Each structure stands twice: as structure tokens, then as C-alpha cells.
Amino acid sequence: MTIAITSGVMRAGQSIDGVVWNILGQTYRPVQHSEASFAFDTLFPPGTFVPPHVHPTQDEYIRVLEGRFELMLDGKDSFAEAGDLVCMPMGVPHGIFNRSAAPVRALFWVAPSRGLYELFTRIDGVPDPAEVVRIAADYEVTFLPPPG
């Protein structure tokens, strides 16, 4: 399937075809999608997170727009605040956590896009984290077992 980039301006708060996903309490809005890359605006309410996982075939990036993420990057704890760019090369385990009392807004993107758009479409509104993990494996996203 070929997905081409078109020229234009997507206004703040808009998304591709008005799509808004609820992924385990987080809000994702796709803003760019092609074979080469996929970008999505996110809102992480306090206490929400993406557990440690690996994208073996995608590089992933986060530009934090508001707030502060705590991160697990390749087994090390770190953080990113508004204005920071987080780089997560393919194959590097990472987890993203909002442990603050305020929401975090960020722009995420992956390259190449692979099946991430389709994964988010499938897990939109799925309330069971175990089911999300099971479905994610079909799209080259591998969640890691809890430490211990």
C-alpha cells in the first residue's frame, strides 16, 4: 500500500480525517502518515504510561510540548521536559510515564511507519492492557515483562 504525503497545513487540534484514538486513557491524534513516517499528537493524563517495549523495525521520537515524562531508555531512567527531544533507535527498549500531577502533551513519530497506524486503530478503546499487548505483537511492537 502506498501512502503519499500531501502538501498543506494541519491546524492545531486537528487530525487525519478527524481520527482520535483512546489508547488506555491517553489521547492520540494522527497528524501525518506515509510509508516513510507516522506522526501523532498525544495527551497523557497524570498517572498514564506506556510500559517498556521495543520497536525492532522503527526509530521513534518524542518532542515534549508541555509537561514532563519520566522515561526508561535502554535500561536507564531519564526524563524529558517541554522542548526536549527524545530519540529511541529501533531495537532499544523504552517506556514512557507521566508520574506528575499535570497532563503531558507531546508529538510522537516513528520512521518508517510500518503498521503502527493500523495498530492504534485496532487498540482504540480496548480497556484490557493484556489484550493491547497481545494485539501489539501482531504489529512488530513487543512489550517487555515487568521487572523482577
| pLDDT beyond 60 at 28 | yes
132: cell is 493491547
What is the residue extent of each domain of the chain?
Answer: 32-143
What's the pLDDT tens digit per position in 97-126? Answer: 999 999 999 999 999 999 999 999 999 999
pLDDT of residue 148: 56
Rounded CA separation 64/84 (Å): 6
What is the value of pTM for the model shown? 0.94
Q: Which CATH architecture has domain 32-143?
A: Sandwich (2.60)
Residue found under cell 501489539: 136
Taking the CA of residue 122 as centre, how many other CA atoms within 13 Å lie in the half-sphere pointing to its CB? 14
Residue found under cell 483512546: 22
- The C-alpha torsion from 3 through 83 and 97 to 124, rounded to 10°, is -30
Residue found under cell 498525544: 42
Enumerate residues 6+ apart whose C-beta is below 8 A from 62.
69, 80, 85, 86, 88, 96, 106, 107, 108
Enumerate residues 6+ apart whose C-beta is below 8 A from 40.
28, 29, 30, 31, 107, 108, 109, 120
What's the pLDDT tens digit per position in 73-96? Answer: 999 999 999 999 999 999 999 999
Confidence tier at 145 by pLDDT (50, 70, 90): confident
